[in-house]
Amino acid sequence: MSPIPSAQLSTRIQPAATPPELLRNFCIIAHIDHGKSTLADRMLQLTGVVDARAMRAQYLDRMDIERERGITIKSQAVRMPWAVREGDDPDDTSAPLVPYALNMIDTPGHVDFTYEVSRSLAACEGAVLLVDAAQGIEAQTLANLYLAMENDLAIIPVLNKIDLPAAQPEKYAEEIAGLVGVDPSTVLKVSGKTGMGVTELLDRIVQEVPAPQGDADAPARAMIFDSVYDTYRGVVTYVRVVDGSLNPREKIVMMSTRATHELLEIGVSAPEPHPTKGLGVGEVGYLITGVKDVRQSKVGDTVTNAGKPAEDALGGYSDPKPMVFSGLYPIDGSDYPVLRDALDKLKLNDAALNYEPETSVALGFGFRVGFLGLLHLEIVRERLEREFDLELISTAPNVVYEVTLEDRSVVTVTNPSEFPGGKIGEIREPVVKATILCPTEFIGAVMELCQGKRGVLGGMDHLSQDRVELRYTLPLAEIVFDFFDQLKSKTRGYASLDYELSGEQAADLVKVDILLQGQTVDAFSAIVHKDKAYSYGVMMTEKLKELIPRQQFEVPIQAAVGARVIARETIRAIRKDVLAKCYGGDISRKRKLLEKQKEGKKRMKTIGTVEVPKDAFIAALSSDGAGSSGGKDAKDKSKK
């Protein structure tokens, strides 16, 4: 089998449905920054779907935020033609050409977007496992490999970046071969940058990835794996057809909502939208119905034909559980309806987003939003601000706790303001199983860090002479703040981290309230471990003392656990010089003026209120111990 030069291939997709035996659905999975998007660029060029004039780096990363950060956030599906010659002799030019259609999905690599990867894998039969030839197997490489194995996908192991001076292809080929269970000589060596070996990779995909299976004569069933909202065309739904076929101008039914629509347009992404005459078994494409209601196109739903509907829906996807919660509030209160509509539209494109309305005494009306991690939080907030022109405040992120009271009733706490008063029997916090890969010389530093974060060692394996895998059980609250920063710092940037939720454990936690002149400010409250309550209270009181402007009266700032104050700072009152014009004369005149001023300040303190400027809220919530490390953590992760 031998490839045909891209110039001889048509860049237009055939208008009729492609037979399943000529289809290959695959995705590219890897750790962050191992070259998925660059390899996808070379495939687009080699197959001819993007010409040299239109080509740009990270072609499938459509959002500005993806291109700026150099990371993939959204999976992107693209269809490419690839022709091979029949027969076993690659030099036999007389053998007929067989035109295949390759559906490729470029997936994210960051742990916060694993849900995107899992949905992409469900639409494929094969996966290209990409490993950096200079760095070797990393934590997220293992996580994505296990996901692919759970979906029974054909795995094609590939070493990328073999053109780098620091590349060690032979060493890491053995590592991958041992992991996947193949001979090291079968591990492909490619360079996404130069295009070396990409032709052989496309041939291997045709050979080793099985054709999709399905019943072409059965009622149509297609799985929705992604959606996006277009201002002009409404909801654009991306589907993988499992059985039957879908055709333009047909009536379709969403099986979970029972909503009926007419198919105005059906087509494939190559990589720009190309309308077709239909989609058959195994094909990946898009549907446009003109619907503007974002709630009628749910990821994981099954699409079927209204005239000949299927009886059973497809399995769908398990809903992702939020791991971190944060409040999002518009700086301008009148933007609340805009924020609500923006979240509705963003959820269409990000099925992992969960939110519900909430109010804060200090910040007004907003939403309590659930995220899969701190990078997910940062990306969602940035997309809301960029795409919908909003200015937002986000409260310090926190995880979900289960509080059991003395009467055995259980309260779920997603916000410190929901923390119950009275006597508490037990507090349970979520824990994760973390996998850390690092050079052997840093084992001691990593173990010391994990134990300082209340971690319990679960096991340790040596992947090679100089690389080790550590498995720890850690509280999620310790992971999501500054853990990753410290891990990178202690290992000089060589460690990688992956984690998954693994249940709950009892913990000695307390709620720390911040009081201004005796009034609790709910936005600054936090649930922390008992040993860290004092340091959090000292940090917040000191920070607020710097941020809140001086008043006409003295303002105490206190941190309290229950009724016990654990830290205090005082903002001194602005003193007017009432003696400025009182010169000479009896001392009693001065005393009288000072006593009068003292009485006035005492009266003002009892009736005065402390106005906290929005700028102070933004500064305190974005640069406190949780917030700053969280934001920095997310930024560093994006560069990893």
Amino acid at 337: P
* Residue 163 annotated in ligand binding: yes
* 631 is annotated as contributing to ligand binding: no
37 is in an annotated binding site: yes
Tokens, residue 121: 């894998």
Of the candidates 533, 534, 553, 555, the one whose C-alpha atom is nearest the C-alpha of residue 544 is: 555
Residue 498 assigned ligand-binding role: no
In the chain, what is the straight-line distance between the N-terminal and C-terminal CA atoms, in Å?
38
Is 33 among the annotated ligand-binding positions? yes
Burial of 291 (0-12, 13-18, 19+ CB in 10 A): buried
Please report the beta strands in 42-136, taking only residues with DSSP state E, as ranges in sequence order.
Answer: 76-85, 97-106, 126-132
Specify whether the CB–CB gap between 220 and 308 falls below 8 A.
yes
Q: Which of 218, 220, 211 is nearest to 278 (CA)?
A: 220
97 and 33 Cβ atoms separated by less than 8 Å: no
Annotated binding-site residue? 360: no
CA dist., res. 492 & res. 469, Å (int): 17
Q: How many CB atoms lie within 10 A of CB 335?
A: 18
CA distances from 583 to 282, 402, 412, 590 (A): 95, 66, 65, 9
51-to-56, 59, 61, 102, 181 alpha-carbon distances in Å: 10, 12, 17, 18, 38
Q: Determine the Cα–Cα distance for residues 617 and 611; give it in Å rounded to an integer.
A: 11
537 known member of a binding site: no
Q: Which residues pair with 228 in a beta bridge?
A: 236
Q: Which phi and psi angles does 17 have, rounded to 5°?
A: -65, 140
Crossing angle of helices 169-180/139-150, nearest 10°? Answer: 40
Rg of the Cα atoms in the chain: 29
Residue 260 marked ligand-binding: no
* Residues in the annotated binding site for GTP: 33-38, 160-163
* Residues in the annotated binding site: 33-38, 160-163
